[in-house]
A and B are shown apart, each in its own frame.
Chain A
């Protein structure tokens, strides 16, 4: 499925960590939108399905210099090394149950195809993938609120954030019905984005300069000369990605004024951060 009709999208997100309050609306909106089940004890976070998970980071300093920040973490929809679509998970799935959409940049998951080998989970350093260790069960009557847009998953398969792909499909259907070639920015927004009470999440097409997400991120379309695997590095000095150095090329960008927060996004050897913290990709004139 290469780009046969007009230009390819590259949907992505930028999350303003200075606005994020850690309130959890995005998590619940995601669960409700995507028919995520729940069980009696969800306090073991290592077997609790939360496509959108919010990490709490601290600067590690002691009272009263402690600071905290919340970091929402959906699936990073990695483009893989060189942004060629070989995401860490997609490249290892033995049964093509997870795939990279070259027309959208979205990493999909086909639940009925997945046979539960969990290799993709091992491949993902973000813990964005969740296994259905149990059969999903709802209390009596509660199945009535399930949405037909997303099929509930059976036990034994892996699931993860889909960037609310069904919303993209619905928006595209409407556009098609109305005879439009493409969808508007506001027509396709993920459930976490619309739920965020602080407006901390901005979602859109990273390839479209008219979209807000592009304007904030200003992605560098060229490979990073310091690491050829990295493509799409932000040219906004306040914007970073998680584990960018691994070359996974996530489509989730984070924004923070605080240096310690930006530093926490990746791993650095001693002294390394100070050398590269002011490096933000090629200049804008390259665009």
Chain B
């Protein structure tokens, strides 16, 4: 047959028609859609047996109970634990997102050693040997006090092990990062004596006078505070919020009293003045006052009369009188301090002035008031045995009282103040003011050992990283240190085998101590941290391991306490913001971000408003009156004595004119693109201002100018 054009065409058309009527097309159409329903690059979670495990969150001092849902060995969901004494169900977003920390791209997966600018992997044995070797050298040089440690807190067994190591090594230089608990202790020490702490009975008080405490912004134990706040209406209790910005707490309060930033202490004293003048105070209570109550009373009435206070604070004199009357006449009033989360810079004048209100109306150790009692000591470490080097070193003076003083001294001194530094659960290079100079100080220290789980800003400056388990991989006692009315210790339990080659920081300390041999090793005779915890928590271990928590104290403590007002009676100066620009920059605490060392999780960052973070730009809040020519969502340049930053503008009627608010918790530089390199760290722009008399960094903000970018 001759194949001409026509028959070829026919053949072609026939073939097309044939394929068209065959089931091939239908089959391919069907198969292709089934393929789209099962794309191999879309993960399919594996099913398995469902179990629940209880644990405690240690991302913040709140110490909430957690219930973790697991599928076989995989934890898949974290929720609040019902009937837990701290949070009773409910959990904050950071705890719920906890699993994201487990698989965080910025986790340190093995011990690392810095070589030049880069980290390289080393084995645990080598790392411990290296640290021990360095410490032996320091000890040999005769100045063991040049080993320092910065941890998140003093309480708890892991911190206890670090302190024990330093002490038996011969160094008094153990520091903690500022936290609400540390301020509670400082306040209690100034007014009531050493070893005391303060708790606030928010869930029973009928009148909470909050001096900027972000009761629903993450202050204290967040979930516990949320619950106390949520029950407020049902209890007919009132919340008055004194703050320069309409925070969520201010918005939720019964009344918001805008105040010039940094003048909270003056307002507190102004309220004291009204109470004293109008005889609204409890005469019986003032009998406990020491250190010159009359002097204080005279000074206050002279310097903080309502009209004067109004001038200083911007709060109307009539309002001051009204607040004083309401506060003093309430059945169970409580005045609460600690601006924002309460872990930022605070001045002792403010802390003491606010707490004096509590003392004046005699709500101390009464239901719904402030509980003043000794710090809970639930751990029983055996007494240290120290050799002569340790004795000599430990008896020397600390380089400074607070961590910011240590940093200052390191930076100022030409000789090394610190030869080796341990950093545990702290990120001073991020969370202290003027982070540039903090980084400089850390850089000056010859040997820095980080125990961080993540390659955070401070870990990056370290010479050795001994990565810790995250809170989901470890056993640990977690005392709630957050101004709670009750004192609870929770037990964090491992809910998954360590994901990476990490160790419990407690184990790492024990290994280092053993490697140091001699009297130091003798003080660390436990095989493992777990064994150590069980023995030192002896008294409450049964309760911890059975219930997951132990309640150390609950309800109002009995007895009255002495009040020493000598610090205030001298009328210390109120801290002024650094610089001479016209406006004041203040940090904002946002519940959806974390301002301590760790970064907020990808989920938490996702919830952050585009009025806080837009792309990689941080958004600052400013009143339209102050913004003048600046447009909403436009760009501007902020200049403070510490530096400049490009920011986006959010015109916000909830800001007091004259101030600019910048959120804390952004601007991390972790190797985690979901949470890092977003916005800037407000601590880069604010420098420390040391309060004379207390030594605290009390920089509530800084002077700033703003111009169109």
Contacts and interface: CB of A to CB of B under 8 A. Distances in A.
Q: Do chains A and B touch in the complex (CB under 8 A)?
A: yes
Interface of A: 16, 18-19, 21-25, 27-29, 31-33, 35, 38-45, 48, 50, 54, 56, 58, 61-64, 66-70, 112, 135-136, 138-148, 151-156, 191, 194-200, 257
B481 to A, nearest CB: 19
Contact of B258 (A23, A50, A64, A139): A64
Given A24-B93, A29-B96, A151 B44 contact: yes
Contacts of B256: 64
A38 B602 contact: yes
Interface string B659-693: 00000000000001110001000000000000000
A63 B92 contact: no
A266 B104 CA distance: 42
A194 B653 contact: no
Given A144-B103, A197-B223, A24 B604 contact: yes
Contacts of A197: 80, 87, 90-92, 222-223, 226-227
Contact of B37 (A19, A63, A112): A112
B45 A148 contact: yes
Contacts of B615: 41, 43-44
B603 A31 contact: yes
Contact of A139 (B37, B607, B674): B674
B248 A32 contact: no
Contacts of B625: 63
Contacts of A31: 603, 606
A195 B604 contact: no
Interface string B605-616: 111111101111
B46 interface: yes
A198 B90 contact: yes
A196 B365 CA distance: 31
A146 B45 contact: yes
Contacts of A16: 230
A25 B248 contact: no
Interface string B68-106: 010100111111100000010111110011011011110
A194 B79 contact: yes
Interface string B599-641: 0011111111111011110000001110000000000000000
B626 to A, nearest CB: 10
B237 interface: no
B246 interface: yes
A23 B93 contact: yes
Interface string B52-78: 000000000000000001010011111
A215 to B, nearest CB: 15
B93 A27 contact: yes
B103 A198 contact: no
B284 interface: no
Contact of A50 (B39, B46, B607, B655): B607
B470 interface: no
30 contacts: A22-B216, A25-B96, A28-B601, A28-B603, A32-B96, A38-B605, A38-B606, A40-B673, A43-B610, A44-B610, A54-B607, A58-B653, A63-B655, A66-B654, A68-B251, A68-B654, A135-B39, A135-B42, A143-B43, A145-B100, A147-B76, A152-B42, A152-B43, A154-B37, A154-B42, A191-B77, A191-B79, A195-B96, A197-B91, A197-B222
Interface majority SS (helix, strand, loop, mixed), chain A: loop
B80 A70 contact: no
Contacts of B99: 32, 145
Nearest to B218: A23
Nearest to B616: A41
Contacts, number: 204
Nearest to A200: B230
Given A143-B43, A199-B230, A38 B79 contact: no
Contacts of A156: 36
B533 interface: no
Nearest to B607: A24
A58 B499 CA distance: 45
Contact of A69 (B91, B97, B251): B251
B299 to A, nearest CB: 30
B229 interface: yes
A18 B233 contact: yes
A68 B246 contact: yes
A272 B42 CA distance: 51
A27 B591 CA distance: 13
Nearest to A61: B653
A66 B36 contact: no
Contacts of A39: 674
Given A197-B80, A197-B222, A21 B591 contact: yes
A195 B80 CA distance: 7
Contacts of A152: 42-45
Contacts of A155: 39, 42
A40 B677 CA distance: 11
Contact of B42 (A38, A50, A136, A194): A136
Contact of A25 (B42, B90, B103, B105): B90
Contacts of B39: 135, 154-155
Contact of A23 (B591, B605, B678): B591
Contacts of A145: 74-76, 99-100, 102-103
Given A23-B92, A146-B45, 6 more contacts: A24-B592, A25-B91, A41-B615, A112-B37, A140-B105, A154-B36
Contacts of A21: 216, 226, 229, 248, 252, 591
3 closest pairs, A vs B, by CB?
Answer: A197-B90, A21-B216, A146-B45
Contacts of B75: 145
A70 B673 CA distance: 29
Interface in B29-49: 36-37, 39, 41-48
A175 B348 CA distance: 58
B645 to A, nearest CB: 17
Nearest to A53: B607
Contacts of A142: 100, 103
Interface in B452-479: none
- Give the one of B69, B96, B608 with max A CB within 10 A: B96
B74 A195 contact: no
B657 interface: yes
B656 interface: yes
A144 B591 CA distance: 27
Interface string B272-309: 00000000000000000000000000000000000000
Contacts of A43: 608, 610, 613-615, 678
B35 to A, nearest CB: 10
A48 B613 CA distance: 14
B520 to A, nearest CB: 37
B649 to A, nearest CB: 15
B78 A32 contact: yes
A144 B46 CA distance: 9
A136 B607 CA distance: 17
A188 to B, nearest CB: 15
A186 B251 CA distance: 32
A22 B230 contact: no
A64 B616 CA distance: 31
Nearest to B94: A28
Contacts of A64: 246, 256, 258, 656
Contacts of B78: 32
Contact of A32 (B77, B258, B673): B77
Contacts of B656: 63-64
A139 B223 CA distance: 29
